């Protein structure tokens, strides 16, 4: 009996390490791409790649869609604090649900993206965005790898909940 508990605990630890590894991979890719953009572009620079996509360098002092971007500076620490609290919450969720594959993958993606944007706020005072999708004169707000991981993770959380509800029927 004791050995089965030990195995279950080590399996949970291995699962936790996998999810933390995925979060770390997202963080590394996010920060690497931002370093490339910062080294190759000046603020406001843009390079057209296709008829619907540009690489740009934009600084977002706010949150999603530049929410509170012009608030005077306090938002840097506010959003950093939210990111730290969310990180702690997600670490606890990963620890307690490491065996739930889809849920944990979603949380790992969100965690890596959230930490990536917190690192930006701490290092620069803003988040570096560089992916610019557009159609004619309409531009979706520029975003980055961290934002993409957060969005994918949120979608996977929704899918996980839909599947969980269907299994419960």
Active site residues: 129, 147
Whether residue 102 contacts residue 156, with contact meaning beta carbons closer than 8 Å, is answered with: yes
Whether residue 54 contacts residue 134, with contact meaning beta carbons closer than 8 Å, is answered with: yes
Q: 164: which 2 tokens?
A: 């969980």
Q: Which ranges of the chain would DSSP assign to H, the alpha helix?
A: 2-40, 74-96, 101-124, 145-168
Q: In sequence order, what are the residues at sequence separation of 6 or more whose Cβ sits closer than 8 angstroms to the Cβ of residue 61? A: 69, 70, 71, 73, 75, 76, 125, 126
- The Cα–Cα gap between 83 and 69 comes to 16
């Amino acid at each position: 009996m004791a050995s089965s508990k030990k195995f279950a605990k080590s399996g949970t630890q291995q699962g936790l390490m996998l999810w933390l590894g995925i979060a770390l991979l997202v963080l590394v890719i996010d920060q690497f791409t931002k370093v490339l953009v910062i080294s190759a572009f000046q603020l406001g620079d843009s390079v057209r790649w296709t008829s619907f996509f540009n690489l740009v360098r934009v600084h977002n002092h706010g949150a999603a869609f530049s929410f509170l971007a012009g608030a005077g500076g306090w938002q840097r620490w506010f959003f950093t604090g939210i990111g730290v609290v969310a990180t702690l919450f997600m670490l606890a969720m990963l620890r307690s649900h490491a065996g739930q594959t889809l849920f944990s993958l979603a949380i790992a993606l969100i965690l890596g993206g959230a930490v990536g944007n917190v690192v930006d706020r701490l290092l620069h005072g803003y988040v570096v965005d560089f992916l610019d999708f557009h159609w004619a004169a309409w531009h979706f707000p520029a975003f980055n790898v961290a934002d993409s991981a957060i969005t994918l993770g949120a979608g996977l959380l929704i899918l996980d909940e839909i599947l969980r509800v269907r299994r419960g029927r």
